[in-house]
Structure 1
Amino acid sequence: MTTTVHDNAPESRFEITIDGRLAGFVDYRRDGDEYALPHTRVYPEFGGRGVGSQLIVGTLQEIAARGGTVLPYCPFVPKVILDNPEYLDLVPEGQRATFGLD
Structure 2
Amino acid sequence: MTDVDIEVAHAPERLRYEARVDGSVVGFAEYILATDLIVFTHTEVDPAYEGKGVGSAIARFALDDVRDGSERKVMPLCPFIKGWIGNHREYVALVKRVPPSTAKD
Q: Which moved more, 1:45-54 or 1:79-88?
A: 45-54
Any conservation in 1 of the 2:37–2:75 contact (CA below 8 Å)? yes
Q: Counterpart of 1:47?
A: 50
Q: Counterpart of 2:13?
A: 10
Q: Which has the larger radius of gyration?
A: 2
Unaligned runs of 5+ in 1: 98-102
Unaligned runs of 5+ in 2: 101-105
Cα drift, residue 71 of structure 1: 0.6
* Partner residue of 1:23 out of 26, 37, 51: 26
Cα drift, residue 70 of structure 1: 0.7
With the length of structure 1 as denominator, give the TM-score of the two structures.
Answer: 0.84
Q: Counterpart of 1:100?
A: none
Note the alpha carbon deviations across 1:68-96, whole angstroms, 9 max, x for none. Answer: 2111001111110011111101102336x
Task: Please identify runs of 4+ aligned residues in structure 1 that moved more than 4 A.
Answer: none
- Provide the identity percentage: 30
Q: How many aligned residue pairs are there?
A: 96
SS state of the match for residue 5, structure 1? Answer: strand
